[in-house]
């Protein structure tokens, strides 16, 4: 009985996962190579891991640039000119954000995560080390920015 319950729980959890537009497998594998950007541009990986809020995607927007929805264990890679970039997240009416400095020829990693609120969940954006970011991205799937 316990095993059947665990299998049923796992199936229901997978069915409840947020659906977001995924990139094709080749683009996903290219993103996991972590190629350095051109010397006049910087690269930014934005990812989400974890099971908190698995049924709900997090909306992500880059000030003046792309937007995407991140489900659990998904990421996107963007390249652009150097300078400060504001990364915003939104879950329902709750928002969060952080500024990241894009450096020429370098790659930055940002984790977007759900946070527990008093009444509703929220989100937060935090820059992480390359080791932490690459490890999470290797276990994730690439999304298509909108």
Least confident of 9-13, 15-19, 50-54: 9-13
What is the topology classification, in CATH, of domain 2-142?
Answer: Immunoglobulin-like (2.60.40)
The predicted pLDDT at position 3 comes to 39
- DSSP code per residue over the chain: -HHHHHHHHHHHHHHTSPP-PBPPHHHHHHHTT-PPPPTT-EEEEEEE-SSTTTTS-EEEEETTS-EEEE-TTEEEEEEE-SEEEEEEEEETTEEEEEEEEE-TT-EEEEEEEEE--SSS-EEEEEEE-HHHHHHHHHTSEEBPP-
Q: Would you say residue 98 has pLDDT above 70?
A: yes
Sorted by where each begins, the domain ranges of the chain are 2-142
The predicted pLDDT at position 117 comes to 67
**pLDDT tens digits along 32-71:** 999 999 999 999 999 999 876 676 899 999 977 789 999 9
Q: Would you say residue 2 has pLDDT above 70?
A: no
Mean pLDDT of all residues in 86-103: 93
């Amino acid at each position: 009985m316990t095993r059947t319950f665990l299998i049923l729980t796992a199936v229901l959890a997978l069915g409840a996962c947020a659906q977001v537009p995924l990139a094709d497998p080749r683009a996903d594998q290219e993103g996991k190579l972590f190629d350095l950007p051109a010397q006049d541009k910087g690269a930014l990986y934005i990812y989400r891991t974890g099971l908190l809020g698995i049924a709900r995607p997090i909306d992500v927007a880059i000030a003046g640039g792309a937007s995407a929805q991140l489900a659990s264990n998904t990421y996107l890679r963007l390249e652009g000119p150097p300078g400060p970039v504001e990364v915003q997240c939104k879950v329902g009416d709750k928002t969060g954000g952080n500024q990241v400095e894009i450096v020429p020829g370098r790659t930055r990693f940002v984790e977007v995560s759900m946070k527990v609120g008093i009444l509703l969940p929220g989100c937060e954006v935090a820059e992480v080390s390359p080791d932490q970011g690459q490890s999470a991205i290797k276990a994730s799937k690439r999304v298509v920015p909108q």
